[in-house]
């Protein structure tokens, strides 16, 4: 994080990344003094509502974040900045996206949690787009031109008002991670009761184990004995608002519809109170660790791994076999996970995995048989990428084996 005083004093001359969070109501023109070097500009968490035309002077700027501000219109000046590749305006008050506000070289656009009712057909001109986040808006339909987004790999359209299944998306050749719950076309009245309902005063939350966009997972202990349930439990308390992936209620229902599987976190009970939505789960043993890390700004949609990470071909084969079984279980239950990644997978020293994070999951039993097959094909690409990502950290001595090449052929299908 930088300060405005540092910028004004010239202390930041030559930097490539600038982050300012000072309750700004106007764009600081001093930023323009960094025109010869600035590549990443983060103005999130301020009170900005417009950007100046002079922004075009930042000829090297590739990434602009302006989330949690007061914008009501996506600034048209962005469309004049041909070099921009990544734009993030999450959680503003945007209701209008002008046709000329989208630079053609965009690879990544985040407009989550706004009030957008319509997107321009010019979106289809952004043919380099790989990642597009539109959840939590008021969209009733999507541009037909999106059929031209042949590079699009990750798409979030959950928690909108889209009335009909957007057919133009289902045949996109590279789409692999797709979240579409919480729309009229994907809405389900089914309330899955595969686990008992309990009250929130049945347990006490202890230390936080982790948190994501949709909620916080904590270790917990029972305050009231629960027949048939294990003593060691974890509780995910949902935050209650729309997330980058969709509605927490949809996540809960998808988890319950999937049911139990040896490689999934087991759901034990649910809490469905007015101000408290929660899922009680088995406590994952402490010796499990994350298999991968989330994508970076550079990889965009593909997972990353800790430096020095490696796996034997035997371990990779075992992991892949387990994930393929999970994949079949999910789709046998007509649930698309939407986020099939190594970073959502836990692993132990014997290459046993536990797969989780259903924030982007969507039930799709209400779609036509043809549409259901398309959804499964989309997620099959995510599984193929998962295999490919694991092969990227395969131990060197295993990379020329027949077993490696066999898995590589599977991954190449993506």
Question: Residue 121 has which token pair?
Answer: 């057909």
Measure Cα distances from 325 to 321, 332, 381, 385 in Å.
Answer: 6, 10, 15, 16
* Closest to 292 in 3D by CA, of 382, 379, 390: 390
* Closest to 176 in 3D by CA, of 19, 337, 390, 25: 337
Q: What share of the chain is helix, strand, coil (3-state, %, to 5)?
A: 30, 20, 50
Measure Cα distances from 74 to 6, 79, 119, 125 in Å.
Answer: 28, 10, 11, 17
Q: What is the chain's length?
A: 414
β-pair type (40-42, 17-19): parallel
Measure Cα distances from 377 to 32, 60, 207, 331, 383 in Å.
Answer: 46, 38, 39, 10, 10
End-to-end CA distance of the chain: 39
Question: Residue 410 has which token pair?
Answer: 């599977």
Q: What distance in Å separates the CA atoms of residue 203 and residue 237, rounded to the nearest whole number? A: 12
Contact (Cβ atoms closer than 8 angstroms) between residue 1 and residue 22: no
Q: What distance in Å separates the CA atoms of residue 367 and residue 364, rounded to the nearest whole number? A: 6
* Closest to 394 in 3D by CA, of 351, 344, 339, 345: 351
Contact (Cβ atoms closer than 8 angstroms) between residue 382 and residue 177: yes
Q: What distance in Å separates the CA atoms of residue 235 and residue 409, rounded to the nearest whole number? A: 40
Q: What distance in Å separates the CA atoms of residue 254 and residue 102, rounded to the nearest whole number? A: 34
Query: Is 90 known to sit in a ligand binding site?
Result: no
* Closest to 361 in 3D by CA, of 385, 316, 329, 384: 329
Residue numbers belonging to the annotated binding site for ATP: 236
Residues belonging to the binding site are 236
């Amino acid at each position: 994080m930088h300060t405005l005083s540092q910028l004004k004093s010239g202390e930041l001359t030559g930097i490539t990344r600038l982050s300012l969070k000072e309750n700004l109501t106007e764009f600081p023109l001093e930023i323009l003094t960094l025109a010869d070097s600035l590549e990443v500009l983060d103005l999130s968490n301020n009170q900005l509502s417009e950007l100046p035309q002079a922004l075009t002077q930042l000829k090297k700027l590739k990434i602009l974040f302006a989330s949690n501000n007061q914008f009501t219109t996506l600034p048209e000046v962005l469309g004049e900045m041909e070099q921009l590749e990544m734009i993030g305006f999450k959680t503003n008050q945007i209701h209008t996206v002008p046709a000329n506000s989208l630079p053609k070289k965009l690879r990544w656009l985040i407009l989550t949690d706004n009030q957008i009712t319509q997107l321009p057909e010019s979106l289809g001109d952004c043919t380099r787009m790989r990642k597009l986040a539109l959840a939590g808006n008021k969209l009733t339909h999507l541009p037909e031109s999106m059929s031209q987004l042949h590079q699009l790999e990750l798409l979030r359209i959950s928690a909108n008002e889209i009335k009909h299944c957007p057919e133009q998306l289902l045949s996109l050749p590279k789409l692999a991670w797709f979240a579409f719950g919480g729309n009229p076309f994907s809405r389900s009245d089914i309330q899955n009761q595969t686990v008992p309902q309990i009250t929130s005063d049945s347990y006490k939350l202890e230390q936080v184990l982790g948190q994501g966009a949709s909620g916080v997972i904590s270790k917990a202990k029972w305050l009231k004995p629960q027949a048939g349930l294990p003593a060691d439990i974890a509780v995910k308390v949902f935050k209650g608002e729309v997330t980058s992936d969709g509605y927490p209620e949809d996540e809960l229902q998808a988890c319950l519809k999937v049911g139990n599987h040896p490689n999934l976190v087991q759901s034990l009970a649910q809490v469905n109170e007015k101000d408290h939505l929660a899922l009680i789960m088995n406590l994952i043993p402490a010796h499990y660790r994350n298999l991968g890390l989330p994508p970076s700004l550079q990889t965009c949609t593909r997972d990353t791994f800790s430096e020095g990470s490696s796996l034997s071909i035997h371990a990779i084969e075992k992991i892949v076999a387990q994930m393929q079984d999970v994949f079949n279980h999910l789709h046998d239950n007509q649930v698309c996970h939407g986020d099939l990644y190594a970073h959502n997978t836990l692993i132990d020293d014997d290459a046993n995995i536990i797969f989780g994070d259903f924030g982007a999951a969507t039930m799709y039993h209400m779609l036509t048989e043809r549409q259901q097959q398309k959804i499964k094909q989309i997620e099959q690409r995510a599984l193929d990428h998962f295999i490919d990502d694991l092969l990227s950290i395969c131990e060197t001595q295993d990379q020329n084996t027949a077993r490696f090449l066999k898995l590589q052929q599977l991954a190449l299908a993506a």
